[in-house]
Amino acid sequence: MAVAVKNAESDVPAHPMLIFSDRTGEAIDVDTRGTDDAIIDRYSPPPAAPRGRGRPRLGVVAREVTLLLRHWDWLGDQHLVRRAHEAAYTFMHALAGNLNNFEEAARALFANDRARFEQLVTRWPHDIRVHATLLAFTHAGSGE
């Protein structure tokens, strides 16, 4: 992505470019200095550490409350919805904070009222409207 940003910046140098994390909705800084290979090296993940001795971690977390699996699933879904709404709000605040109906759209967002939200953002610029809706009401993704 950073190399693509560098190339886009060189194509249109007079226009500032903002990059947002889909996971958090926050603007992120990307260092595009140097060659394409240097940029790739800068953002490549470090090599995986060698596996240690003993039993592997199973990712099991002790919980103090006993619930049925479907209840844990429901709680997990609520967490994903909340994270999606917070990311959408952060993105919206940065790019649409001064647009018409921003405050009402934020209320509809946190009420999880997609129909009302979409009605309120109808006159926003297409890309902002589409991406805010995607962030707000698509809860499966957690990547950037």
For position 144, what pLDDT does the model report? 41
CA-based Rg of the chain, rounded to a whole angstrom? 20
Domain ranges of the chain: 2-48+67-137
Query: 22, 84 in Cβ contact below 8 A?
Result: no
Say how far residue 129 (Cα) sits from the centre of its chain: 15
- Walking along the chain (144 residues) 10 residues at a time, the average pLDDT comes out as 85 79 91 90 85 68 76 88 95 97 98 97 97 88 42
Rounded-to-5 percentages of helix, strand, coil across the chain: 50, 0, 45
For position 56, what pLDDT does the model report? 64
For position 143, what pLDDT does the model report? 42
Query: 109, 57 in Cβ contact below 8 A?
Result: no
